[in-house]
Structure 1
């Protein structure tokens, strides 16, 4: 490898892909790894590395071939060795034999490609040329992608490649053997498209049928798996898409190679496609070498949705930090070419930019898969979501997916129904006020600003409610002894409030019996100022305003709220953490119980502040 680096001109290799200019002893260019207008990408042949001062891209000639050209490491070494006139040592005789066999098959595939291209250009390819014109593919795109034509003959390819034995044509997937019959050409009467490896060599073909009369033949036909071609590992157009994806940070995966060509003709050069199969784990890994989040673009029909779901289920076990998929869904019944012809490239770009995250699509597909009319239906949805989460191998991502999907499920399954607004009775008394005087309307709801002040809490209890309670105890000192234990558990954040509370508790411990009129001067003498209405945001509480009828009960409820609310908050946090770990029905039920209790306490806390409006 050291010899390889010394024989290869780094600037020469990079100059085949981007425009470089001489700058002293170095070369400069606009960085191919990020968009820029002023060149910050330098190439130093003497030191054998490139470096971008804009994005930090750095490496040698092998790194260039892997990062920019998208080649696997060994493929990059082999490609550079070929350019340098060097032989890569074969690891063992069997591997050397396979390499020699593949070299011969590459010659066969190159000859077949030449034959298909010539056939497209002569009179036999007239129908195929008309089809290409109907698709709107410009001549440059037709040449770049290597379109050809396979004549409608069982022996045309064999005759054209007579220099190669029939066994090699069969091994390359160009001829078919049927027991008891003569072998015949696999591709007949089809528009041909070569499938290339990352080094740009033909390894297989795809053919589209042109005759509408052959209804029993498949519309698209690909080469079978051969020593050169593995459908599950090959990504169509990867060698062309890699440079474009490095420049804009995006890879678009469509369903077929004709979609790739249509997008390329529209200026979207980073499109690739699987080959007759759903996206495989190997193909996803190849795509992740280019970008961390490839965009999958599927047709809007049922088949497209099934393809999206198959890709999701394949990707879930492989997810790792920063690596995922995005899903773009086309309008129903349309493929990329339809969108481009009807609405133009900007519309296609808009659809790609609106691609949704993997978790969003997973949630929507499973949510809409079956009716959710009964509890059993909803339980089935939960089971399906959890089954998907269990396939994720990375522990952090698994936990986050479970949390995200269960939160969405909870919002769906336990959604609160809006109740009709309360309508007071007319001409009579409300049920709660029977025997207690004429009916009065309920006080108006607490305003948003008032409620925010009312519920303002820190690490301790509500400062507003605590101030009101202390004011109430100063006015009704006989109630202090009833709540000594509860009051002693409070830990006010404000030092003056804490000192006042300690003084009141000390008076209760001394068994001092004080009148409200004498208590306030004593506190003032000690430098303790009893709370006023301004300390609790101008709210009016019955026990703090001096009303004696219900002061005892209201003070007891207020003190209870001061103690219980922080305890419920703490228990809810612990239950939420336990649910994320155990994720059982019991843990979920406990979390919901505490949540409902918290909401009830906050609602009662807010109702206490309505006294001002009622008065």
Structure 2
């Protein structure tokens, strides 16, 4: 078994600026000493998410989310602790050292970073495919792209390539060692058959590299050019760096052109995105062979305030749009807008933009239906409002959908709309009829860290977390070992770490506990790390000392009670008698 050395983690946290990490994923602005923005972990209308540059921690006043850069990446990118360390190391240009913890090889150290290695390999494969596109064997692929109206600038911008029509050419060219071959397999680029024979996943296809927001190639989509191929599009499988429900094809390319895009157009396929870009509609993205997920919506809303979903106008397209609607409702945020546009039957964005051009296509976008319009249009088709039974059915159909909405203003609007169709002017009547109270943004929050009762131990832990240098004031650690107060073990652990690392920071302490503490304990530690104590900076050492004295008094009182209780059942030995006598004197003086 291998682990990452603690010293490397502490050094990595020290090198990482949490402001840079957060601002690359969330829009934040400096206000006073901190940075503020809308929390990425819950829906909210006004910014309550803060980043403290000095302490290198974040905290949301709305939902209680908090921690270091490591905690942020783990939650935002949904990575494991080790994956997060590798991701941050990659951003810093560092290689993660792994220590072998086996007894017979405890001194072995290997430098490794799976994510960085995968990024490098996938970039190399994308470059290989792009070069192959201009070889003789790719003539049919080039002809296909030319017929689709793509010029060289668009091909280069999206780094489109061609995978050789060979079972093993790509992996034999790029994965010549066993280590690289294993990595190639981890990247999802190999297929293993029933006979355990391995071959290239992509063969004889036009290749579309899929890049994350930072430009790393994380997967591929391959389009066949063979008329007899039953699989038109083939995508990479999920890997440690690629999760199709969290990524959008073309988003990196959009952000390269528009830092803050006014709107994003969500289409179905790779060619739709590329063809639209060819015609100057360079704000289109595509889900990767999967239905729209809540993670997709969050990613879109972090990028823009306006989203347009584009579907074919046939029954299949409208069914797909309705399925997306059920995902969009709970993810809706006040101040954001979602619209739907439906193309003529038999058309897709690629064919439509080539047929009518940019101006006419964008005119369709301006005429798109809002989310609420599409919702009620779909519901009203199923009912007859002229009959009481129809109005009752509308209520039955609308209630479970509206109750999913967490955005307060949008929820109110939908209930008002429903009331109009039902002939009810008072929204409270609609609420009674629905029978389900709309979910508020804050009702999903069950963690209120700042409302915890402040005890002696919590004050000590909180101050030590925020000011690790206070550990120097704790001279008597043996007495603390006798404490039975809740949190004593955490306080002792903090002291041990601070003694060993005299210059340790709050962010580094949180990184340590992120690995070892149970979830409930870690929540309290994070809460105390961002606790707004409202003490002046110059008073902190005195307050810590006074609280520490109160802890010592408490420990002595506990010991006294224990000895007195023991004396009532059994005789104390001479040493215990002297100790009890001393305690009586000390506590009397205190």
Name the TM-score, length of structure 2 as normaliser: 0.55
**Structure 2 alignment gaps of length 5 or more:** 1-12, 28-34, 36-50, 54-70, 78-83, 102-108, 436-590
Q: Residues 3 and 320 from structure 1, CA distance in 2 versus in 1: closer, same or farther, beyond 3 angstroms?
A: same
CA distance in 1, matches of 2:367, 2:300: 20
Q: Residues 334 and 398 from structure 1, CA distance in 2 versus in 1: closer, same or farther, beyond 3 angstroms?
A: same
SS at match of 2:176: coil
1:446-494 Cα offsets, whole Å, 9 max, x none, are xxxxxxxxxxxxxxxxxxxxxxxxxxxxxxxxxxxxxxxxxxxxxxxxx
Is 1:195 matched up with 2:210? Answer: yes
Is 1:186 matched up with 2:201? Answer: yes
Is 1:227 matched up with 2:77? Answer: no
**2:360 maps to what in 1?**
347
Over alpha carbons, which structure has the higher Rg? Answer: 1
CA distance in 1, matches of 2:379, 2:176: 56
SS at match of 1:252: strand
Superposed displacement of residue 408, structure 1: 3.0
Is 1:325 matched up with 2:338? Answer: yes
**1:256 maps to what in 2?**
269
CA distance in 1, matches of 2:380, 2:333: 25
Residue correspondence of structure 1 range 377-526 to structure 2 within 5 A: 379-408=392-421, 410=423
CA distance in 2, matches of 1:348, 1:201: 31
Q: Residues 584 and 211 from structure 1, CA distance in 2 versus in 1: closer, same or farther, beyond 3 angstroms?
A: closer
Superposed displacement of residue 123, structure 1: 1.2
Higher strand share: 2
The answer (yes or no) to whether the contact 2:87–2:115 under 8 Å persists in 1 is: no
Superposed displacement of residue 326, structure 1: 1.3
**2:442 maps to what in 1?**
none
CA distance in 2, matches of 1:163, 1:207: 23
CA distance in 1, matches of 2:114, 2:93: 20
SS at match of 1:228: coil
Q: Residues 155 and 81 from structure 1, CA distance in 2 versus in 1: closer, same or farther, beyond 3 angstroms?
A: closer
The answer (yes or no) to whether the contact 1:399–1:580 under 8 Å persists in 2 is: no
CA distance in 2, matches of 1:186, 1:312: 34
- Which runs of structure 1 show a deviation greater than 3 angstroms over 4 or more consecutive aligned residues? 1-6, 72-90, 96-99, 243-248, 369-382, 394-397
CA RMSD in angstroms comes to: 4.3
Correspondence for 1:237 among 226, 250, 263: 250
Superposed displacement of residue 375, structure 1: 5.8
Superposed displacement of residue 318, structure 1: 1.8
Residue correspondence of structure 1 range 1-16 to structure 2 within 5 A: none
Pick 1 or 2: higher relative contact order, CA cutoff 8 A, min separation 6.
2
**1:135 maps to what in 2?**
148
SS at match of 1:253: strand
CA distance in 2, matches of 1:101, 1:159: 20
Is 1:304 matched up with 2:317? Answer: yes
Correspondence for 2:132 among 113, 116, 119: 119
CA distance in 2, matches of 1:237, 1:314: 21
1:146-182 Cα offsets, whole Å, 9 max, x none, are 1111122222222222324333222111111223341
Superposed displacement of residue 309, structure 1: 1.3
Q: Residues 347 and 409 from structure 1, CA distance in 2 versus in 1: closer, same or farther, beyond 3 angstroms?
A: farther
Superposed displacement of residue 584, structure 1: 6.2
Count of residue pairs the alignment pairs up: 369
Correspondence for 1:276 among 289, 293, 300: 289
The answer (yes or no) to whether the contact 1:205–1:223 under 8 Å persists in 2 is: yes
Q: Residues 122 and 200 from structure 1, CA distance in 2 versus in 1: closer, same or farther, beyond 3 angstroms?
A: same
The answer (yes or no) to whether the contact 1:300–1:335 under 8 Å persists in 2 is: no
**1:368 maps to what in 2?**
381
**Structure 1 alignment gaps of length 5 or more:** 15-32, 34-48, 50-58, 62-71, 411-571, 586-615
Name the TM-score, length of structure 1 as normaliser: 0.53
Residue correspondence of structure 1 range 161-172 to structure 2 within 5 A: 161-165=174-178, 166-172=181-187
CA distance in 1, matches of 2:414, 2:110: 48
